[in-house]
A and B are shown apart, each in its own frame.
Chain A
Amino acid sequence: MIAFDNVTHAYEHAVALRDVTLHIDDRATTALIGPSGCGKSTLLKLIVGLAWPSRGHVCFGADKITPANVERIRHRIGYVIQSGGLFPHLSARENVTLAARHLRRESRWIEARVAELAELVQLPADLLQRFPGDLSGGQRQRVSLMRALMLDPEFLLLDEPLGALDPMVRHGLQDDLRALFARLGKSVVLVTHDLAEAAFFADRIVLMREGQIVQQGSYDDLRSQPADDFVRAFLVAQRVLVPASHA
């Protein structure tokens, strides 16, 4: 479980997160959703130590995340960003195996794991020799996913992983991803600004606005009982039919 306990994150003069308390369950898919700049990506960065709380703290399991233990915690988390973040000077295979080689895993284990993951994300094995620049957007995200899954992490954090793909590719990859999440049974945190995508993947949706959580629950909860006018406006903007307010 990942727990945010009264976390505030400020950078320079702006505040990205304000007193956020949130529990992310194991073996479930949680979607963080909200307009641009609401702090949803910052939330992910706090988990992998790319950002640190100004106040409050974040726990991974029983451990408070600190600079001293974050490197080990990172090995238990897979992190995929919108652009893929693949290193252009390394082949797809080298990208995928970099962390494992750094940790001096046995090369036979690495080979087997790569084969297994390629099959899992449905990437033809011969594409692994290519450099990221020679892969399509969808292929790049599959490689990126392999890299995130290499060390068999407990948590998978995905920051708009399909945001840069065209609709057809995106649709195909959504189906593959959902099947994959179901098969792996891992804890997944997905950042998206697309409610339909959130609804498609997530057991629980966390809606954020200006650094705070506005509402959390299932898609049906949000739709049937929007917490306030903002939630309602957000749903309308996403073309979701909302029951009229009885306030």
Chain B
Amino acid sequence: MRRAIAIIAALFCAAPTSGEVVVGSKVFTESVILGELATQLLVGDRIEARHQRELGGTTVLWSGLLRGDVDCYPEYTGTLRGEIFAQSSLRSDDELRRALAQQHVWASQPLGFNNTYVLGMRRDVAAQRSIAKLSDLGKHPDLRLGFSNEFIDRGDGWPGVKRAYQLTHTDVRGMAHDLAYRAIAAQSIDVTDLYSTDAEIAYYDLVALEDDRAFFPAYDALFICRDDVSDATKHALNRLAHTIDASAMARMNARAKLDHVSEAQVAADFASQTLQASTLVQVDSRASRIAKRTLEHLGMVGLSLLIAVLVAVPLGVLAYRAPRFGRVALAVADVLQTIPALALLVFLIPWLGIGYAPAIVALFLYSLLPILRNTHAGLADLPRDLRESATALGLSRSAQLRFVELPLAARSILAGIKTAAVINVGTATLGALIGAGGYGQPILTGIRLDDIGLILEGAVPAALLALLAQGAFGAIEHRWVKAK
């Protein structure tokens, strides 16, 4: 069954055509700009390329690269050393390249800027407490720290800083990177992790604390690709070698994040000014964007729901007929429901890659419980009189099920499907994190760019779709289910 689902889901995703280079990017602005820049350069060199933007964090992209769902993406040397090759302590860049080559990954020349981690504070708070260096933080254990969720866990992040500077702070919270800026501006936290090319450092008037014990390694930006991409692709990406310095990158970030210029436009302007490369920027209209997202979203919800109905209704019947099996099946479905959606998606990536397939499998798994439970309950709750009447009439077991039990349980089964559909419409917004698109995409971008309009562009249609699903099932129920 699992295999069948994987196959159906795989058929459903737009499988990259053999020649097409898929450029991925992480879910922060700089990565999206670099991904856009790379894609435009490739297209400019007449290489077929597509940008899968905002795919999630390092884990998602790295495993996507190894599996071949992604061909290239922008990465940082520090991340490769500290995250991906954390076990092997690779000192020089040559060592790093050799380690990558062993995984059949090619690395471009460095782009020219070091986007290292820094810890930052509001200038006024830092001045008031006379904090200028990371080692000064030790004297202020009462400070409230808010770190991006990635930073708080990774070895080269907070745990390492804490050890290196012997910090004892207890008020440490994880949050989305983009929200951390708003939190620090509002003074609900005092210290956060920043990227040194972040546009907000200047915007919010923050100071970057000096890393006086040289804890943070270099985070030189570069592109990594599967080594089976064409030489033309490698050549095109190496045109960016040493062309972007830290201030140029910070300016591009500022244009995208603060001035709300599209990443595509920012990338195109850089390409034409610095590389004299003319690229084409295609901007979809809002209506066509929403239409595309709607199709993606409906595809995810509809297909996962369809498979779930085909699996969970028969399972529910089986659970009703064989109570011992039923208890096990319901318990398993209960457990599946408790797995956090994001965790489930990430579990599925090594197995199914990124895109539609893992999203559909995850939504399918979440749909099982409500449908299974309601099918089982609908059948088990049938009045004994009616079940016995059907038996005494001399109907075969399958005829009893078909003509009496299932029609009478239909209302309950339909309610289960409705619940699953409405939950799925909401959960499917997370699909954007793993490249499945849908209404989650504008929400994700909107949170990143602090653009309420974009968030609403995803949230409003998602809410409408949920209402629509509810209404449609209500109509089906009214039309088809006669039983009380």
Enumerate chain A interface residues (CB-CB to B < 8 A).
Answer: 45, 48-50, 71-72, 74-75, 77, 79, 81, 83, 85-90, 98-99, 102, 131, 133, 147, 151
Given contacts A98-B403, A102-B403, A133-B484, contact A87 B389 (CB under 8 A): yes
Could you say which interface size class chain B belongs to?
20 to 34
Closest A residue, CB atoms, query B481: A89
| Residue of B389, B390, B399, B483 most packed against chain A (CB within 10 A) | B389
Q: Cβ of A99 and Cβ of B395 under 8 Å apart?
A: yes
Other-chain contact of A74, B393, B404, B484 (Cβ < 8 Å): B393
* B483: chain A residues within 8 A (beta carbon): 88-89
Q: Cβ of B391 and Cβ of A48 under 8 Å apart?
A: yes
Given contacts A85-B385, A102-B403, contact A50 B392 (CB under 8 A): yes
* B396: chain A residues within 8 A (beta carbon): 71, 102
Residue B340 CB within 8 A of the other chain: no
* B390: chain A residues within 8 A (beta carbon): 87
Enumerate chain B interface residues (CB-CB to A < 8 A).
Answer: 385-386, 388-396, 399, 403-404, 407-408, 410, 481-484
Instruction: Please give the distance in Å from B82's CB to the nearest CB on chain A.
Output: 64
Closest A residue, CB atoms, query B404: A87
Instruction: Please give the distance in Å from B175's CB to the nearest CB on chain A.
Output: 53
Given contacts A89-B482, A98-B403, contact A75 B394 (CB under 8 A): yes
Q: Cβ of A81 and Cβ of B388 under 8 Å apart?
A: yes
Q: Cβ of A99 and Cβ of B393 under 8 Å apart?
A: yes
* B399: chain A residues within 8 A (beta carbon): 102
CA distance A99 to B393 in the complex (A): 6
CA distance A97 to B173 in the complex (A): 69
* B394: chain A residues within 8 A (beta carbon): 71-72, 74-75, 99, 102, 151
Instruction: Please give the distance in Å from A131's CB to the nearest CB on chain B.
Output: 7
| Residue of A75, A89, A133 most packed against chain B (CB within 10 A) | A89
* A90: chain B residues within 8 A (beta carbon): 403
CA distance A81 to B389 in the complex (A): 8
* A98: chain B residues within 8 A (beta carbon): 393, 395, 403
Q: Cβ of A89 and Cβ of B395 under 8 Å apart?
A: no
Given contacts A48-B392, A79-B392, A102-B399, contact A85 B482 (CB under 8 A): no
Closest B residue, CB atoms, query A72: B394
Given contacts A98-B403, A102-B403, A133-B484, contact A85 B386 (CB under 8 A): yes
Question: What are 20 A-B contacts defined by CB distance under 8 Å?
Answer: A49-B391, A50-B391, A71-B396, A72-B394, A74-B392, A79-B393, A81-B385, A81-B389, A85-B388, A87-B389, A88-B483, A89-B410, A89-B482, A89-B483, A90-B403, A98-B403, A99-B393, A99-B395, A147-B393, A151-B394
* A85: chain B residues within 8 A (beta carbon): 385-386, 388-389, 392
Q: Cβ of A89 and Cβ of B385 under 8 Å apart?
A: no
Q: Cβ of A88 and Cβ of B391 under 8 Å apart?
A: no
CA distance A215 to B223 in the complex (A): 97
* A72: chain B residues within 8 A (beta carbon): 394
Instruction: Please give the distance in Å from B234's CB to the nearest CB on chain A.
Output: 67
Instruction: Please give the distance in Å from A157's CB to the nearest CB on chain B.
Output: 8
* B386: chain A residues within 8 A (beta carbon): 85, 87-88
CA distance A49 to B393 in the complex (A): 11
Q: Cβ of A131 and Cβ of B389 under 8 Å apart?
A: no
Instruction: Please give the distance in Å from B216's CB to the nearest CB on chain A.
Output: 69
* A131: chain B residues within 8 A (beta carbon): 482
The 10 closest A-B pairs by CB, nearest first: A85-B389, A74-B394, A89-B483, A79-B392, A75-B394, A48-B392, A99-B393, A89-B407, A85-B385, A89-B482
Other-chain contact of A79, B389, B395, B482 (Cβ < 8 Å): B389
CA distance A79 to B393 in the complex (A): 7
Q: Known pairs A71-B394, A102-B399. 5 more at Cβ < 8 A?
A: A74-B394, A81-B389, A88-B484, A102-B396, A147-B393
* A83: chain B residues within 8 A (beta carbon): 385
Other-chain contact of A50, B388, B407, B410, B482 (Cβ < 8 Å): B388
Instruction: Please give the distance in Å from A59's CB to the nearest CB on chain B.
Output: 18
Q: Cβ of B388 and Cβ of A87 under 8 Å apart?
A: no
Closest B residue, CB atoms, query A77: B392
Instruction: Please give the distance in Å from B399's CB to the nearest CB on chain A.
Output: 5
* A102: chain B residues within 8 A (beta carbon): 394-396, 399, 403
| Residue of A79, A85, A99 most packed against chain B (CB within 10 A) | A85
CA distance A105 to B396 in the complex (A): 15
Closest A residue, CB atoms, query B389: A85
CA distance A88 to B481 in the complex (A): 11
CA distance A49 to B410 in the complex (A): 27
Instruction: Please give the distance in Å from B278's CB to the nearest CB on chain A.
Output: 68
Instruction: Please give the distance in Å from B396's CB to the nearest CB on chain A.
Output: 7
* B407: chain A residues within 8 A (beta carbon): 87, 89
| Residue of A83, A86, A87, A88 most packed against chain B (CB within 10 A) | A87
Closest B residue, CB atoms, query A151: B394
* B385: chain A residues within 8 A (beta carbon): 81, 83, 85
